[in-house]
Structure 1
Amino acid sequence: MRLLVLAVGRMKQGAEADLAARYLNRVSQAGRGVGLRSIEVVEIRESRAQDAARRKLEEAIAIANVIPDDAALVLLDEQGEALGSAAFAETLARWRDGGQGSVVFVIGGADGIAETLRERAKITLSFGPATWPHQLVRIMLLEQLYRAVTILSGHPYHRD
Protein backbone atom coordinates (compact mmCIF):
# COMPACT_ATOMS: atom_id res chain seq x y z
CA MET A 1 0.00 0.00 0.00
CA ARG A 2 1.23 3.46 -0.87
CA LEU A 3 0.93 6.39 1.56
CA LEU A 4 0.70 9.93 0.29
CA VAL A 5 0.65 13.08 2.44
CA LEU A 6 -0.74 16.11 0.63
CA ALA A 7 0.00 19.29 2.53
CA VAL A 8 -1.09 22.77 1.53
CA GLY A 9 1.86 25.08 2.05
CA ARG A 10 5.62 24.68 2.16
CA MET A 11 7.68 23.35 5.02
CA LYS A 12 10.38 25.95 5.58
CA GLN A 13 13.93 24.88 6.32
CA GLY A 14 14.74 24.48 9.99
CA ALA A 15 14.07 22.24 12.95
CA GLU A 16 10.52 21.38 11.82
CA ALA A 17 11.69 20.32 8.36
CA ASP A 18 14.47 18.23 9.89
CA LEU A 19 12.07 16.45 12.24
CA ALA A 20 9.54 15.82 9.45
CA ALA A 21 12.31 14.38 7.26
CA ARG A 22 13.47 12.15 10.11
CA TYR A 23 9.99 10.64 10.61
CA LEU A 24 9.44 10.34 6.86
CA ASN A 25 12.67 8.36 6.60
CA ARG A 26 11.70 6.14 9.55
CA VAL A 27 8.28 5.37 8.05
CA SER A 28 9.88 4.61 4.68
CA GLN A 29 12.39 2.19 6.14
CA ALA A 30 10.16 0.43 8.66
CA GLY A 31 7.05 0.45 6.48
CA ARG A 32 8.39 -2.02 3.94
CA GLY A 33 8.29 -4.77 6.55
CA VAL A 34 4.55 -4.31 7.08
CA GLY A 35 3.46 -3.96 3.46
CA LEU A 36 3.84 -0.24 2.83
CA ARG A 37 5.37 0.19 -0.61
CA SER A 38 6.19 3.86 -0.26
CA ILE A 39 5.39 7.11 1.47
CA GLU A 40 5.61 10.48 -0.18
CA VAL A 41 4.90 14.06 0.89
CA VAL A 42 3.57 16.41 -1.79
CA GLU A 43 3.33 20.11 -1.06
CA ILE A 44 0.36 21.90 -2.62
CA ARG A 45 0.77 25.58 -3.39
CA GLU A 46 -1.36 27.88 -1.25
CA SER A 47 -3.98 29.78 -3.22
CA ARG A 48 -3.51 33.53 -3.45
CA ALA A 49 -7.21 34.22 -4.17
CA GLN A 50 -8.74 37.17 -2.34
CA ASP A 51 -11.60 35.38 -0.58
CA ALA A 52 -11.55 32.26 1.58
CA ALA A 53 -14.13 30.31 -0.44
CA ARG A 54 -12.13 30.78 -3.63
CA ARG A 55 -8.88 29.80 -1.86
CA LYS A 56 -10.47 26.59 -0.55
CA LEU A 57 -11.82 25.76 -4.00
CA GLU A 58 -8.50 26.34 -5.76
CA GLU A 59 -6.62 24.28 -3.17
CA ALA A 60 -9.22 21.49 -3.39
CA ILE A 61 -8.79 21.34 -7.18
CA ALA A 62 -5.01 21.11 -6.80
CA ILE A 63 -5.38 18.38 -4.15
CA ALA A 64 -7.94 16.41 -6.18
CA ASN A 65 -5.58 16.39 -9.18
CA VAL A 66 -2.97 14.48 -7.15
CA ILE A 67 -5.22 11.89 -5.45
CA PRO A 68 -4.87 8.45 -7.09
CA ASP A 69 -8.12 6.84 -8.26
CA ASP A 70 -7.76 3.89 -5.88
CA ALA A 71 -7.02 5.98 -2.78
CA ALA A 72 -8.70 6.04 0.59
CA LEU A 73 -8.88 9.71 1.53
CA VAL A 74 -8.12 10.81 5.10
CA LEU A 75 -8.53 14.44 6.08
CA LEU A 76 -6.78 16.10 9.01
CA ASP A 77 -9.12 18.55 10.70
CA GLU A 78 -9.55 19.82 14.25
CA GLN A 79 -13.19 18.73 14.19
CA GLY A 80 -12.39 15.19 13.08
CA GLU A 81 -12.26 11.97 15.06
CA ALA A 82 -9.44 11.54 17.58
CA LEU A 83 -8.08 8.02 17.13
CA GLY A 84 -5.61 6.50 19.53
CA SER A 85 -2.39 5.18 18.07
CA ALA A 86 -3.47 1.53 18.24
CA ALA A 87 -6.80 2.29 16.53
CA PHE A 88 -4.97 4.30 13.86
CA ALA A 89 -2.63 1.36 13.24
CA GLU A 90 -5.61 -1.03 13.06
CA THR A 91 -7.30 1.20 10.48
CA LEU A 92 -4.18 1.19 8.29
CA ALA A 93 -3.86 -2.58 8.68
CA ARG A 94 -7.51 -3.10 7.72
CA TRP A 95 -7.04 -1.05 4.55
CA ARG A 96 -3.77 -2.78 3.72
CA ASP A 97 -5.24 -6.24 4.29
CA GLY A 98 -8.35 -5.31 2.29
CA GLY A 99 -6.23 -4.52 -0.76
CA GLN A 100 -6.39 -0.73 -0.59
CA GLY A 101 -3.83 0.53 -3.13
CA SER A 102 -3.21 3.98 -1.65
CA VAL A 103 -4.07 6.05 1.38
CA VAL A 104 -3.93 9.83 1.00
CA PHE A 105 -3.71 12.11 4.03
CA VAL A 106 -4.70 15.74 3.38
CA ILE A 107 -3.53 18.65 5.51
CA GLY A 108 -5.57 21.59 4.26
CA GLY A 109 -4.74 25.25 4.05
CA ALA A 110 -5.39 28.00 6.58
CA ASP A 111 -9.02 28.30 5.45
CA GLY A 112 -9.72 24.59 5.86
CA ILE A 113 -10.76 21.88 3.42
CA ALA A 114 -13.45 22.28 0.77
CA GLU A 115 -16.70 20.35 1.13
CA THR A 116 -16.04 18.46 -2.12
CA LEU A 117 -13.06 16.75 -0.49
CA ARG A 118 -14.91 16.18 2.79
CA GLU A 119 -17.57 14.24 0.89
CA ARG A 120 -14.91 11.91 -0.55
CA ALA A 121 -13.12 11.22 2.75
CA LYS A 122 -13.26 7.81 4.38
CA ILE A 123 -12.36 9.38 7.71
CA THR A 124 -11.48 12.76 9.15
CA LEU A 125 -8.83 12.70 11.86
CA SER A 126 -8.06 15.21 14.57
CA PHE A 127 -5.06 15.74 16.80
CA GLY A 128 -7.37 17.41 19.30
CA PRO A 129 -9.58 20.49 19.36
CA ALA A 130 -6.67 22.95 19.36
CA THR A 131 -5.58 24.67 16.17
CA TRP A 132 -2.10 23.49 15.17
CA PRO A 133 0.32 25.07 12.68
CA HIS A 134 0.39 23.05 9.47
CA GLN A 135 4.07 22.24 9.90
CA LEU A 136 3.39 20.64 13.29
CA VAL A 137 0.40 18.71 11.95
CA ARG A 138 2.67 17.26 9.28
CA ILE A 139 5.22 16.22 11.90
CA MET A 140 2.54 14.72 14.17
CA LEU A 141 1.03 12.80 11.25
CA LEU A 142 4.40 11.41 10.17
CA GLU A 143 5.15 10.44 13.78
CA GLN A 144 1.79 8.66 14.07
CA LEU A 145 2.44 6.84 10.79
CA TYR A 146 5.80 5.72 12.14
CA ARG A 147 4.18 4.66 15.41
CA ALA A 148 1.51 2.72 13.47
CA VAL A 149 4.18 0.92 11.48
CA THR A 150 6.03 -0.04 14.65
CA ILE A 151 2.79 -1.25 16.26
CA LEU A 152 2.02 -3.38 13.19
CA SER A 153 5.52 -4.86 13.22
CA GLY A 154 5.34 -5.74 16.91
CA HIS A 155 8.13 -3.35 17.85
CA PRO A 156 8.00 -2.14 21.47
CA TYR A 157 8.07 1.56 20.43
CA HIS A 158 4.45 1.87 21.50
CA ARG A 159 3.58 0.91 25.07
CA ASP A 160 0.02 0.12 26.13
Structure 2
Amino acid sequence: MKIHICAVGRLRSGPERTLLDDYLDRFDKTGRALGLGPVKLHEVEDRRGGGMVAEAQLLAGVLPKGARICTMDERGKLMSSPEFAQQMARLRDDGTGDLAFVIGGAEGIDPSLRGRADMSLSFGKMVWPHMLARVMLSEQLYRAATILAGSPYHRV
Protein backbone atom coordinates (compact mmCIF):
# COMPACT_ATOMS: atom_id res chain seq x y z
CA MET A 1 0.00 0.00 0.00
CA LYS A 2 1.54 3.26 -1.12
CA ILE A 3 1.35 6.16 1.32
CA HIS A 4 0.98 9.78 0.25
CA ILE A 5 1.35 12.82 2.46
CA CYS A 6 -0.43 15.68 0.72
CA ALA A 7 0.31 18.93 2.51
CA VAL A 8 -0.01 22.67 2.11
CA GLY A 9 3.30 24.50 2.22
CA ARG A 10 6.83 23.55 1.33
CA LEU A 11 9.04 22.32 4.12
CA ARG A 12 12.44 23.95 3.71
CA SER A 13 15.72 22.66 5.12
CA GLY A 14 15.98 22.76 8.88
CA PRO A 15 15.20 20.60 11.90
CA GLU A 16 11.65 19.73 10.80
CA ARG A 17 12.86 18.64 7.36
CA THR A 18 15.64 16.55 8.90
CA LEU A 19 13.16 14.78 11.19
CA LEU A 20 10.66 14.24 8.38
CA ASP A 21 13.28 12.74 6.07
CA ASP A 22 14.62 10.51 8.86
CA TYR A 23 11.21 9.08 9.82
CA LEU A 24 10.13 8.58 6.20
CA ASP A 25 13.39 6.76 5.46
CA ARG A 26 12.91 4.55 8.51
CA PHE A 27 9.29 3.86 7.53
CA ASP A 28 10.24 2.93 3.98
CA LYS A 29 12.86 0.46 5.22
CA THR A 30 10.61 -1.12 7.88
CA GLY A 31 7.35 -0.97 5.95
CA ARG A 32 8.64 -2.51 2.72
CA ALA A 33 8.62 -6.04 4.17
CA LEU A 34 5.10 -5.42 5.51
CA GLY A 35 3.61 -4.27 2.22
CA LEU A 36 3.55 -0.65 3.40
CA GLY A 37 5.09 2.19 1.46
CA PRO A 38 6.87 3.80 -0.06
CA VAL A 39 5.81 7.26 1.09
CA LYS A 40 5.53 10.06 -1.41
CA LEU A 41 5.35 13.66 -0.22
CA HIS A 42 3.16 16.02 -2.27
CA GLU A 43 3.55 19.66 -1.26
CA VAL A 44 1.33 22.41 -2.69
CA GLU A 45 1.39 26.18 -2.30
CA ASP A 46 -1.38 28.67 -2.92
CA ARG A 47 0.61 31.58 -4.29
CA ARG A 48 -2.47 33.62 -5.14
CA GLY A 49 -3.86 33.78 -1.61
CA GLY A 50 -7.13 31.99 -2.31
CA GLY A 51 -7.37 30.52 1.19
CA MET A 52 -8.80 27.14 2.10
CA VAL A 53 -10.82 26.78 -1.11
CA ALA A 54 -7.77 27.26 -3.33
CA GLU A 55 -5.68 25.01 -1.09
CA ALA A 56 -8.35 22.29 -1.30
CA GLN A 57 -8.27 22.47 -5.11
CA LEU A 58 -4.47 22.18 -5.13
CA LEU A 59 -4.57 19.26 -2.68
CA ALA A 60 -7.28 17.51 -4.71
CA GLY A 61 -5.02 17.83 -7.74
CA VAL A 62 -2.25 15.77 -6.12
CA LEU A 63 -4.46 13.03 -4.65
CA PRO A 64 -3.86 9.74 -6.49
CA LYS A 65 -6.91 8.40 -8.33
CA GLY A 66 -8.78 5.90 -6.23
CA ALA A 67 -6.81 6.66 -3.07
CA ARG A 68 -8.40 6.32 0.34
CA ILE A 69 -8.29 9.79 1.89
CA CYS A 70 -7.50 10.51 5.53
CA THR A 71 -7.61 14.12 6.66
CA MET A 72 -5.52 15.23 9.61
CA ASP A 73 -7.97 17.41 11.50
CA GLU A 74 -8.51 18.45 15.12
CA ARG A 75 -12.11 17.19 14.76
CA GLY A 76 -10.89 13.75 13.65
CA LYS A 77 -10.79 10.49 15.54
CA LEU A 78 -8.31 10.04 18.35
CA MET A 79 -6.34 6.77 18.11
CA SER A 80 -3.59 5.16 20.08
CA SER A 81 -0.47 4.17 18.16
CA PRO A 82 -1.41 0.45 18.26
CA GLU A 83 -4.91 1.29 16.98
CA PHE A 84 -3.37 3.32 14.16
CA ALA A 85 -1.08 0.41 13.28
CA GLN A 86 -4.05 -1.97 13.15
CA GLN A 87 -5.99 0.48 10.95
CA MET A 88 -3.04 0.61 8.54
CA ALA A 89 -2.89 -3.21 8.47
CA ARG A 90 -6.65 -3.45 7.84
CA LEU A 91 -6.49 -1.03 4.93
CA ARG A 92 -3.53 -2.89 3.45
CA ASP A 93 -5.22 -6.27 3.92
CA ASP A 94 -8.45 -4.95 2.37
CA GLY A 95 -6.52 -4.20 -0.83
CA THR A 96 -6.11 -0.43 -0.51
CA GLY A 97 -3.53 0.54 -3.12
CA ASP A 98 -3.02 4.16 -2.12
CA LEU A 99 -3.65 5.92 1.18
CA ALA A 100 -3.41 9.71 1.15
CA PHE A 101 -3.04 11.72 4.34
CA VAL A 102 -4.12 15.34 3.84
CA ILE A 103 -2.66 18.15 5.94
CA GLY A 104 -4.19 21.56 5.38
CA GLY A 105 -2.69 25.00 5.78
CA ALA A 106 -2.94 27.47 8.64
CA GLU A 107 -6.74 27.73 8.27
CA GLY A 108 -7.28 23.97 8.09
CA ILE A 109 -8.93 21.89 5.38
CA ASP A 110 -11.83 23.22 3.36
CA PRO A 111 -15.15 21.44 4.13
CA SER A 112 -15.46 20.35 0.47
CA LEU A 113 -12.27 18.28 0.78
CA ARG A 114 -13.01 17.13 4.34
CA GLY A 115 -16.33 15.79 3.03
CA ARG A 116 -14.52 13.56 0.51
CA ALA A 117 -12.41 11.90 3.19
CA ASP A 118 -12.85 8.24 4.06
CA MET A 119 -11.57 8.96 7.56
CA SER A 120 -10.19 11.75 9.67
CA LEU A 121 -7.55 11.55 12.39
CA SER A 122 -6.59 13.96 15.13
CA PHE A 123 -3.37 14.40 17.08
CA GLY A 124 -5.47 15.73 19.97
CA LYS A 125 -7.55 18.75 20.81
CA MET A 126 -4.61 21.08 20.41
CA VAL A 127 -3.90 22.58 17.02
CA TRP A 128 -0.42 21.84 15.69
CA PRO A 129 1.52 23.83 13.08
CA HIS A 130 0.99 22.17 9.70
CA MET A 131 4.76 21.90 9.20
CA LEU A 132 5.12 20.00 12.48
CA ALA A 133 2.04 17.86 11.77
CA ARG A 134 3.78 16.15 8.84
CA VAL A 135 6.74 15.28 11.10
CA MET A 136 4.36 13.87 13.73
CA LEU A 137 2.51 11.87 11.06
CA SER A 138 5.75 10.47 9.64
CA GLU A 139 6.82 9.35 13.12
CA GLN A 140 3.46 7.62 13.66
CA LEU A 141 3.77 5.88 10.28
CA TYR A 142 7.19 4.58 11.32
CA ARG A 143 5.86 3.61 14.75
CA ALA A 144 2.94 1.74 13.13
CA ALA A 145 5.35 -0.21 10.93
CA THR A 146 7.50 -1.14 13.92
CA ILE A 147 4.42 -2.27 15.88
CA LEU A 148 3.32 -4.47 12.98
CA ALA A 149 6.86 -5.83 12.62
CA GLY A 150 7.08 -6.66 16.32
CA SER A 151 9.99 -4.28 16.88
CA PRO A 152 10.69 -2.95 20.39
CA TYR A 153 10.57 0.72 19.18
CA HIS A 154 7.05 1.18 20.59
CA ARG A 155 6.92 0.69 24.33
CA VAL A 156 3.73 0.66 26.36
Q: Same-fold call, TM > 0.5?
A: yes
Q: Percent identity?
A: 46
**SS of equivalent residue, structure 1 residue 120:** coil
Query: C-alpha distance in 2, partners of 1:108/1:11?
Result: 13
Aligned to 2:7: 7
Q: Is the 8 A contact 1:4 1:105 kept in 2?
A: yes
Name the aligned partner's letter for residue 36 of structure 1.
Answer: L
SS in 1 for 2:7: strand
Q: 2:107 aligns with which of 111, 123, 142?
A: 111
Where do 4+ consecutive residues of structure 1 move more than 3 Å? none
**TM-score under structure 2 normalisation?**
0.95
The two structures, once aligned, show a CA RMSD in angstroms of: 1.2
Contact 1:7–1:107 (8 Å) recurs in 2: yes
**2:33 alignment partner, SS class:** helix
Could you tell me which amino acid in structure 1 is paired with residue 132 of structure 2?
Answer: L
Whether 1:44 and 2:44 are equivalent positions in the alignment is: yes
Q: For residue 22 of structure 1, what is the aligned residue in structure 2?
A: 22
Distance 1:47 1:144 in 2: 30
In structure 1, the partner of 2:140 is 144
Aligned length: 156
Cα gap change, 1:100/1:23 in structure 2, threshold over 3 Å: closer, same or farther?
A: same
Q: Quote the residue 2:34 is aligned against.
A: 34
1:85 to 65, 78, 81: 81
Kindly indicate whether the alpha-carbon contact (under 8 Å) linking 1:47 and 1:55 is maintained by their aligned counterparts in 2.
no
Question: Residues 70 and 100 of structure 2 are in contact (CA less than 8 Å); yes or no, is this contact kept in structure 1?
Answer: yes
Cα deviation digits, residues 52-81 of structure 1 (max 9, x gap): xx4111111111111112211000111211
Please give the alpha-carbon distance, in whole angstroms, between the structure 1 residues aligned to 2:62 and 2:111: 17
- Aligned residue for 1:70? 66
Instruction: Confirm whether residue 158 of structure 1 aligns to residue 154 of structure 2.
Output: yes
